[in-house]
Structure 1
Amino acid sequence: MIKKALLGLLAIIVIICAGGGIFLYNAVNKDIDEHFAGTCTTLPLPGSAEDNQVDRERGFAYMSILDRQAIASGKKAAPGQVMRLDLNTPELKAVNALLDPPAGFHPHGLSLFIDEAGQRHLIVINHPENRGVDVEHIERFVEQSPGEFKHAETFSSPLITRPNDLVAVGAREFYVAQDTGRGTGITDTLLVYFDGNDYTVLAEDIKSGGGINRSADNGTLYVAETNAKNIRVITRGADGGIADVRNIALPTSPDNIDVAEDGSLWIGAHSNLTALVMHFIIGSNAPTQILRVDPNSADAAVEEIYLNKGTEITSGSGGSTWGRKLLIGSITARKILVCDRD
């Protein structure tokens, strides 16, 4: 009898929690005005494309693929991959770009660097299965034939404990932005620079680095500070050192940054962090938002390109551009949106 009563009480608690979650979801999303000037199609994937990088010269898009939805549900994910899309073809198909990914590969942020000889290098964050406990790695892959990369070396440092994204400024030279993580109580994180030999902390006050990228001339860095709703604009010195130039305030929480051909920043953003947290807890949809920012204009004008409640793609993490195409990835959704702008 007591067992039945406890089970009944548990069922009531579950119903109340679910109902409360649905009510809160509806409350935080009620004022979202969905819009996009164009059309989008869905391309299913074996995992989510949390970060994407476009080789604009060749029209290849590289996607960091891992079943993060399984991880968010407390399950073990199969090893991930970096997958490639050939944007020149009318019918897109995702294929593996890595010939020999490391065992247990858990990719996150990635960056493509093209050296003066035209050699392509992919630098990719590789999380351990026990993130926050085991050592974080950064992998370098070198292109063997167009769009196919072979593993070259692995980097690690005690300074890199919660890498989220990185940007390569040389074949063996990169900056790493780190996040605070949910429930850690940490507010500031380190921006770490690797010059090919040594690791250096260049900033200790990044408000959770959700994304980082660079200008075409390698002279400027853009860091997305998710918890500060800010893009930090930084100049690079010849020695890799940095100096803050300006802060671009946003009305939302930025994630990954794509630098378009015209130098504008295309930013994946989370318009409601409460909805994002709920997404991780109960699996409800979280809004997806893509912004365009002109970092070179006097007022750094911000334009909202895409906004959706999460029904088309939930928890969007970034938007990468190639001509009129816009590729929208997600933290957890096992797909990517391929959009054509009007």
Structure 2
Amino acid sequence: MTINSKGKNMRRWLLIGTAVIALSGVGGAALMSSMGAFNSITTQYDAACTSVGDMAGPEDLAIDYDAGVAFISSLDRRAGMAGDIATGAIHRLDLNGSNSLTEMNVTGLDAAVPFLPHGVDLKTIGGTQYLFALNHRSATDPAAGHDIFVFEVRENTLDLVEHYQNSGIRSPNDLAAIDLNTVYFSNDRGKFGNFANLVEMMLAQKIADVSVYDQGEVSLSAPMAFANGVATIDEGKTVYATAMRESVLKEFKRDPATNTLTLVREISVGEAPDNISVAEDGSLWVASHLNLMAFDGHIKDASALSPFQVYRVDPATGDSKLMLENDGSLQSSVSVAAPYKDKILLGTAFQSGIKVCPL
């Protein structure tokens, strides 16, 4: 989700929507059901987890399985919602026992452009490792603009090597790189304005999209209802995207000549799927919000719980398996889940720090 949809605007959608629902009888009950209002967990995951770091809003992450490190995107969304200065950063987490956490030094950015990172992707091209990151120029105003930053990864430094902008990058949420010049990304809304946002969200209108940035041009590839996480496998031959308001993971075949996406299948991955992680064995791991009404409650009140689930998808068969679920007491607003050896990392949109848990 973007900072806007996870923050002030989404809160407005759901707050107004709750009032509409309360007045709309049977239809309102159906809408509430579609947002998971009546969902509850069946098996509580209560393992002893380690909390790492105190960075606010570590919403997305990418793992370098060879080096045993994770790169984590963080952004203080609550500060932005409150009208304060929203701060963001990229952190490097050692996964080989020390849990050492380092805030990466970012070089090459225009000092006048706020660094408010969101979705990230890690890719090695020509022997060089790059971190791709979506950036918002405002914590609350999507019209302020957005960026795709491409950083060369060094030991404790991210050096900017490419910077992409385009009006088609309207409300970006997540991204997945094919190469240095070709990046798929999600726009999680199709319209702006409180009422239009409310209608789009509540009625699950398929006017958000996955688009592709290719050498300066943006083309819409796949419309859907609240596009969210994006990932690629098979050297970019297959693209995946979560449609939060359709409750599915969509699998697409990609035409490398045209970047066109053809829908192959839709896979059930919980009520409101968020980010996608590609594990070392090639499986897909999807974090899913179990109850969007509870998620809204957590946005308004940090002490309110927001339950989550984590699904593992076999890309060969499309089989989806529930791996863990929790009522939010372990971590609320969980937006990303990524396995590493016998552990799993859980990131969150609004709380602080990463949870490292046994699998």
Query: Do Structure 1 and Structure 2 share a fold, with TM-score over 0.5?
Result: yes
TM value normalised by structure 1? 0.84
SS of 1:217's equivalent in the other structure is: helix
Q: In the alignment, which residue of structure 2 is the partner of 1:122?
A: 131
1:127-146 pair list within 5 angstroms? 127-129=136-138, 130-143=140-153, 145-146=154-155
1:150-169 pair list within 5 angstroms? 150-169=159-178
1:1-342 pair list within 5 angstroms? 31-36=40-45, 38-72=47-81, 74-88=82-96, 90-100=97-107, 102-103=110-111, 104-115=114-125, 117-129=126-138, 130-143=140-153, 145-146=154-155, 148-180=157-189, 184=197, 185-186=199-200, 187=205, 188-203=207-222, 205-239=223-257, 240-283=259-302, 284-297=304-317, 300-341=318-359
Cα shift readout 1:20-73 (whole Å, capped 9, x = no counterpart):
xxxx9xx9588423433854211132212100100111111000011123234x
Partner Cα separation in structure 2 for residue 313 and residue 29 of structure 1 = 20
Gapped runs of 5+ residues in structure 2?
1-31
Partner Cα separation in structure 2 for residue 31 and residue 246 of structure 1 = 27
Look at both structures and tell me which one has the larger radius of gyration over its CA atoms: 1
Amino acid at match of 1:296: A
Amino acid at match of 1:94: L
| Distance verdict in 2 for CA 1:250–1:46, change over 3 Å | closer
Contact 1:83–1:98 under 8 Å retained in 2: no
Partner Cα separation in structure 2 for residue 291 and residue 228 of structure 1 = 16
Amino acid at match of 2:248: N
Partner Cα separation in structure 2 for residue 288 and residue 93 of structure 1 = 26
TM value normalised by structure 2? 0.80
Contact 1:52–1:318 under 8 Å retained in 2: yes
RMSD in angstroms over aligned alpha carbons?
A: 2.3
Contact 1:69–1:333 under 8 Å retained in 2: no
Percent identity, aligned pairs only? Answer: 27
Cα shift readout 1:161-203 (whole Å, capped 9, x = no counterpart):
1000000111222001111288613332132111223221222
Q: In the alignment, which residue of structure 2 is the partner of 1:14?
A: none
Runs of 4+ in structure 1 displaced over 4 angstroms?
27-30
Cα shift readout 1:58-95 (whole Å, capped 9, x = no counterpart):
111000011123234x232443111110112x221221
Contact 2:226–2:243 under 8 Å retained in 1: yes
Aligned residues: 310
Contact 1:34–1:309 under 8 Å retained in 2: no
Deviation at 1:262, TM superposition (A): 2.1
Gapped runs of 5+ residues in structure 1?
1-23
Partner Cα separation in structure 1 for residue 295 and residue 110 of structure 2 = 30
